[in-house]
Amino acid sequence: MLDIDDTFDAVHGHQQLRLFNAFYDEFGFQPIVVFDGEGRLVGTLLRPARRPKGAESAAHIRRLIRQIARHWPETEILLRADSHYCTPQVLDLCDRLGLRYVFGLSKNGRLAQNISALEASTAARYVRTPGQKLRRFKTFSYAARSWSKPRRVIARVEVGPMGRDTRYIVTNLEGGRGKHLYEKLYSARGQAENHIKAWKAHLAADRTSCSKVNASQMRLMLHGCAYWIWWKLRAACPKRSPWRRAQFDTLRLHLVKLAATIVEKKTRIIVTLPASCPRKGLLLLLFDALAPPKTA
């Protein structure tokens, strides 16, 4: 499972590749970030602060899949992304490489024609039983003019106190009900925003202040390494403990910002914690869980 997204990174100098973004009213970058379904950072690409076009997105996905296939050639891959990654180039690339996908799809008049009756009946049903939101789904085949073939589209129609809201996704998954694919599979990609927040806010990944683009890209890679260290530490915590869901800044505050005596020897490093350390039990558990395997 690969979740593809991008994020705005403001800059305050004359760095290479910086670009003014009218939506944010600032100069900056807009790197593409990819996480897997478990929240691990797969890769990040520094780029100007504009929405990636279809050819650029397809090229980045092609390089990424090529590297993954070198190490795990038999692994099946499912891509999830919002609507601005749903371009003809990306869709055709997924077909050629045998990738499964669930992408958001932008609204248009032709799509609306397919669900006008469903929207009307849903609104009428909500009027009869007002209060809670009413959500219904419809699956149909659709082909945009720029697409090479018809594809499976799932419409989600929701009516509530705030009015009517309709969203679309497109997928090449043949099985599964539309409700399950939208609510359980596609909507779960929203976790990628939380991963980006942890990467930027807790690990300062937006400090791309180098004047040269290669140096700023290297900074992203170093922050990616830091993300992996913290993800690995959190994954080693007991499954049913609140630490397994803690944010990186919380883990740093409780597990790293501690008074300790550190002694470096030739073959090992000794960390002596105070007897009153409040997280002593958790730290001992993590030391055992993360220790390298013993040699025979």
* Nearest one of 50, 9, 75, 34 to 189, comparing CA atoms: 34
Separation of alpha carbons 26 and 220, rounded Å:
20
| pLDDT given at position 181 | 95
The class level of CATH for 2-229 reads alpha beta
| pLDDT given at position 68 | 94
158-169: burial string, b at 16+ Cβ within 10 Å, e else: bbeeeeeebbbb
State the burial class of residue 1 (Cβ atoms within 10 Å of its Cβ: 0-12, 13-18, 19+).
middle
3 state SS of 53? coil
| pLDDT given at position 151 | 96
What are the φ/ψ torsions at residue 154 (nearest 5 degrees)?
Answer: -120, 125
Predicted TM-score (pTM) of the model is 0.86
| Sequence spans of domains, the chain | 2-229, 241-290
* Nearest-5° Cα angle at 227, 25 to 34: 60
- How far does Cα 31 stand from its chain's mean position? 12
Separation of alpha carbons 203 and 227, rounded Å:
7
Binned average pLDDT, 10 residues per bin, the chain of 296 residues: 94 92 93 93 94 94 94 94 94 95 94 92 88 90 93 94 92 91 92 91 90 93 94 92 92 89 92 84 89 77
| pLDDT given at position 34 | 95
